[in-house]
Amino acid sequence: MNLEHLSRQLAFIHEIDKLKYIQRKTRLFNSERNENDAEHSWHLAMMAMVLAEHANEKVDVQKVVKMLLIHDIVEIDSGDIFLYDTTANHTNTEEERKAAERIFGLLPTQQKEEFISIWEEFEEGQTAEAKFAKSLDRLEPVLQNVSNQGGTWMEFDVKYDTVLKKTNAMQHGSQTLWEHTQMLFEESIEKGILKKN
């Protein structure tokens, strides 16, 4: 047994526990409690396993699950950026890159390289797996806001056009989920929990 190898893996496992403390703006389904990043990542991983048949292309579900479990780990250092924050940079920033190097750098080299590669693939959003993973990452807050009578849409006065702009890339990963999401938008507008501009 290589004790240094194991020690590095355990250091990483200890570090990622911090993901449980990163609060998101969205709340749990039918709840006043905000979701944390660990809950978000777990929920997306489960969604990938359940909804994979709705991806536009055949996807490697295990890879999608890995992406979703890894994608927000950098927020341990960079913090969560609210999807509808118009003042924030939502692209892969230098801060996120440094966080990826630091956090994944705790792992043995081979695992570090694998995790960074998976994280980069998600960020670039070009493969079938990344497109589907990103679709799920956009779908979950929609489902949460619908279940919470508008949730962050109402709380932060987020209008339909803004929500549409932030979610329309879902169609690249799953046309089926995108069509269902559009139906949810229409129902939300009718209920008054999503306002038109």
pLDDT 10s digits, 35-46: 999 999 999 999
Please give the helix or strand (H or E) that residue 34 lies within, else none.
strand 34-36
Residue 14: per-residue pLDDT:
98
Residue 94: per-residue pLDDT:
86
Residue range 180-193: mean pLDDT, rounded: 96
What is the 8-class DSSP label of residue 30?
T
DSSP symbols for 116-169: HHHHHHHHHT-SHHHHHHHHHHHHHHHHHHHHTTTHHHHHTT-BHHHHHHHHGG
Residue 90 has pLDDT above 70, yes or no: no
Q: How confident is the model at residue 163 (pLDDT cuts 50, 70, 90)?
A: very high
Helix (H, G, I), strand (E, B) or coil at 35: strand
pLDDT 10s digits, 13-31: 999 999 999 999 888 888 7
Q: How confident is the model at residue 93 (pLDDT cuts 50, 70, 90)?
A: confident
Q: 151: which 2 tokens?
A: 């949730």
Residue 62 has pLDDT above 90, yes or no: yes
Q: How confident is the model at residue 88 (pLDDT cuts 50, 70, 90)?
A: low
Share of the chain above pLDDT 70, in %: 96
Residue 87 has pLDDT above 70, yes or no: no
Residue 69 has pLDDT above 80, yes or no: yes
Homologous superfamily of domain range 3-191: Hypothetical protein af1432 (1.10.3210.10)
Q: Cα(104)–Cα(5) distance, rounded to whole angstroms?
A: 14
Q: 7: which 2 tokens?
A: 């020690």
Residue 139: per-residue pLDDT:
97
Helix (H, G, I), strand (E, B) or coil at 25: strand
Kindly report the CA angle at 100 between 98 and 105, in degrees rounded to 5?
Answer: 100
Q: For residue 160, which amino acid is it?
A: Y
